[in-house]
């Protein structure tokens, strides 16, 4: 599905570790030519620009002029896309002049429009690529910083004056941030500069990819606290980039002396499950053995409890969906279905300006509802009871399938969704874009006809995970994340570590920040997926299994400080029989965390760990006398603590 995705980068990334031990070994056949060369490099890019360098000048009656010193210079932040060569030209007044100029060097840099109109990051920074910012007065500035992301190591950006080969006044080293959705502030000292210059940001000639950039900032002395606050005119939610501080909004404020308290009386969302997509028409069906690996919950099995299936516009292909869906359901999984296209005779091609798109004909809405009902009936007749049916897969990124505007989705939900059999899911935006779902939430009739708000999270910024309008108006509705892969879809990348740790971190954000009730990966079996092409579980699959095997359907997420110490992220769940903690340690060092758990008595917890050297490893038990215990976390690991009561 994602050959169309936002961009495709070829990265040389070190392969770490091996997949989970054991598992089924039945060979899967790839039935298509899908190369899945796309890479998810979406990033959390702020559009904020702070250009208010202090030029105040106070003149008294004696004509004395009191001019602010360099120490009063305010940070000068410039959005990276506001440069020559960034493919979008001037955008926010931070620079003067400039045209869209082709970039020299290998491949060159390009803006990546990931968030909203006017809000970009810049990528494709290979050796000698550059951005140019004309008319910049650097007098008095002593340091430079950039908001960068990379999964490569050893990259850097040189700050040069007046030409790509000009004087180097500073070099910003780019760390491996772990994923293309994780941005860090990188800083460097500047040589003394006076006067106005064209400032060039040049990708160092080190033979590797040097990362993506959101903004560059010049400042004096120590770095200011980076709150990433939005401009006052910005209608988007603020960027709540995690500052690694403990979560102070929880109900467990009584925790003292470094103890992290789990409050089982403070309940959040009910969990429906975790799973992935089966797409036999595009890549071939799972084998019988692979179905057991995916949906069974024994040793060397993923424990998935959701499977997403495909609604083909051609009903003669529907039989391909039955076998895996039926077996998954027999093993306890929920089955839901998403369409990419209606039957061909229900669509038309329309052109608006330079945009051409395929859409469902307005006079065919009733027929389309009948088409979806026919699929539901077909599956029922073949032993599969769908939990829900979606109106459209990614209506807002329909480059290769049927496009829907927010108004078109709203009209269908108001006037036709009530005719669908069973639960209705909408709108499955590719990036959790609220312009697709807000109209449904704000319309009482459409909202009444929607049972599940489904979304994808490709490059969704952290600030977009919370959804206040859904919390306000979505009572009685479910909230599902129905497709993603992170951090990329590189061929044969499924066992890379710590890259695979980013799946667990992304799931943590989905459960805690977004409060999703379901988390569904893209292809279950793929060279970058939870199950490799040979049918064995990958490192990425191990990360998912820390949730799917131990947080079972019907469990309730309960309150715990989500970030009790630097680089450690925690979520907690309670069922009728167990309490589960899933802990992600993104630090390169081991960590020790002390927990106190109230509620049902649990005397000990099984400790399961995946790291660079472990794959769902049994690390013994942790004694929990009087509900308190201390656990040691391996560096760059995900740990599940599972205790029965």
Catalytic residues: 394, 483
Tell me which residue has tokens 């006037």.
415
Task: For residue 284, count other CB atoms closer than 10 A to its CB.
Answer: 17
CA distance 358 to 337: 21
What is the DSSP code string of 296-318?
--STT-----EEEEEE-SSGGGG
Q: How far is CA 402 from CA 343, 348, 621, in A?
A: 11, 9, 51
Name the CA radius of gyration of the chain, rounded.
26
Provide the phi-psi class of 567: left if phi over 0, else alpha when psi is between -120 and 50, else beta: left
Closest CA to 123 of 185, 181, 205: 181
Place of tokens 């990958």: 538
144 and 108 Cβ atoms separated by less than 8 Å? no
How far is the C-alpha of 493 from the C-alpha of 541, rounded, in Å? 12
Instruction: Give the CA count within 13 Å in the CB-facing half-sphere of 87.
Output: 14
Q: Six-digit token pair at 538? A: 């990958």
How far is it, in rounded angstroms, from Cα 6 to Cα 40? 7
Structure tokens at 352: 């608006």
Is residue 414 helix, strand or coil? helix
CA 251 vs. chain centroid, Å, equals 27
Cis peptide before 498 (omega within 30 of 0): yes
> Would you say 343 and 282 are in contact if contact means Cβ atoms under 8 Å apart?
no
Residue 472: partners with Cβ closer than 8 Å, 6 or more residues away: none
Tell how far CA 262 is from the center of its chain.
26
- Give the tokens for residue 512: 């805690």
Measured CA to CA, the distance from residue 588 to residue 131 in angstroms comes to 32
Are residues 199 and 133 in contact, defined by beta-carbon separation less than 8 angstroms? yes
Q: What is the DSSP letter of 319?
A: G
- Picking from 621, 584, 616, 618, the residue whose alpha carbon sits closest to that of residue 605 is 621
Handedness of CA 482, 486, 488, 490 (dihedral sign): negative
The token pair at 393 is: 């897969």
Task: Give the per-residue SS3 of 483-532.
Answer: ECCCCCCCCCCCCCCCCCHHHHHHHHHHHHCCCCCEEEEEECECCCCCEC
Report the 3 state secondary structure along 570-616: EEEEECCCEEEEEEEECCCCCEEEEEEECCCCCCEEEEEEECCCCCC
What are the distances in angstroms from CA 162 to CA 93, 168, 415, 573? 20, 10, 60, 56
Q: Whole-angstrom distance between the N-terminal and C-terminal Cα of the chain? A: 43
Given the structure tokens 């700050």, which residue do they identify? 159
């Amino acid at each position: 599905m994602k050959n169309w995705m936002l961009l495709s980068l070829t990265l040389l990334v070190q392969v770490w570790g091996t997949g989970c031990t054991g598992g089924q070994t039945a060979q899967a056949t790839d039935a298509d030519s899908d190369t899945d060369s796309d890479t998810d490099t979406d990033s959390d890019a702020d559009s904020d620009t702070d250009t208010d360098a202090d030029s105040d000048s106070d003149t008294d009656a004696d004509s004395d002029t009191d001019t602010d010193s360099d120490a009063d210079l305010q940070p000068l932040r410039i959005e990276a896309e506001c440069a020559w060569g960034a493919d979008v030209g001037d955008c926010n007044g931070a620079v003067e002049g400039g045209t869209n100029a082709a970039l020299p060097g290998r491949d060159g840099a390009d803006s990546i429009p990931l968030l909203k109109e006017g809000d970009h990051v810049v990528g494709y920074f290979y050796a000698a690529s550059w951005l140019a910012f004309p008319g910049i007065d650097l007098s008095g500035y002593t340091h430079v910083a950039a908001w960068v992301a990379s999964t490569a190591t050893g990259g850097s950006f040189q700050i040069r004056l007046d030409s790509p080969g000009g004087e180097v006044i500073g070099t910003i080293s780019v760390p491996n941030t772990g994923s293309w959705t994780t941005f860090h502030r990188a800083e460097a000292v500047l040589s003394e500069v006076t006067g106005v210059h064209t400032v060039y940001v040049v990708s160092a000639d080190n033979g590797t990819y040097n990362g993506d950039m959101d903004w560059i900032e010049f400042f004096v002395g120590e770095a200011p606290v980076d709150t990433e606050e939005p401009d006052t005119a910005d209608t988007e939610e603020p960027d709540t980039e995690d500052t690694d501080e403990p979560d102070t909004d929880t109900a467990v404020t009584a925790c003292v002396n470094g103890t992290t308290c789990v409050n089982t009386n403070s309940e959040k969302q009910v969990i429906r499950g975790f799973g992935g997509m089966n797409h036999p028409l595009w890549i071939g069906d799972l084998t019988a053995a692979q179905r057991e690996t995916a949906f069974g919950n024994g040793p060397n099995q993923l424990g998935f409890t959701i499977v997403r299936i495909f609604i083909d516009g051609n009903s003669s292909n529907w039989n391909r969906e039955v076998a895996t869906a039926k077996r998954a359901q027999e093993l306890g999984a929920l089955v839901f279905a998403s369409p990419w296209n209606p039957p061909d005779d229900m669509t038309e091609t329309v052109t608006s300006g330079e945009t051409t798109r395929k859409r469902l004909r307005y006079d065919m809405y009733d027929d389309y509802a009948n088409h979806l009902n026919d699929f539901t009936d077909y599956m029922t007749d073949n032993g599969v009871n769908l939990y829900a049916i979606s109106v459209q897969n990614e209506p807002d990124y329909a480059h290769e399938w049927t496009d829907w505007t927010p108004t078109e989705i709203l009209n269908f939900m108001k006037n036709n969704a009530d005719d669908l059999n069973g639960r209705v899911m909408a709108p499955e935006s590719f990036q959790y874009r609220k312009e697709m779902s807000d109209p449904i939430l704000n319309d009482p009739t459409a909202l009444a006809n929607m049972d599940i708000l489904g979304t994808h999270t490709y490059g969704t910024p952290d600030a977009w995970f919370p959804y206040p309008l859904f919390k306000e108006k979505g009572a009685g509705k479910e909230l599902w994340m129905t497709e993603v892969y992170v951090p990329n879809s590189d061929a044969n990348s499924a066992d890379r570590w710590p890259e695979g740790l980013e799946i667990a971190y992304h799931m943590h954000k989905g459960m805690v920040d977004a409060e999703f009730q379901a988390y569904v990966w893209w292809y279950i079996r793929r060279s970058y997926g939870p199950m490799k092409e040979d049918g064995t579980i990958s490192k990425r699959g191990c990360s998912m299994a820390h949730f799917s095997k131990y947080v079972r359907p019907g469990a309730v997420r309960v309150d715990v400080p989500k970030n009790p110490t630097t680089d450690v992220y925690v979520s907690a769940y309670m069922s009728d029989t167990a309490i589960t903690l899933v802990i992600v340690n993104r630090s390169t060092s081991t960590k020790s965390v002390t927990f106190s758990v109230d509620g049902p008595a649990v005397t000990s917890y099984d400790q399961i760990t995946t790291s660079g050297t472990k794959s769902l490893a049994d690390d013994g038990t942790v004694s929990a006398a009087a509900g308190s215990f201390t656990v040691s976390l391996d560096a760059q690991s995900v740990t599940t603590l599972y205790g029965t009561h």
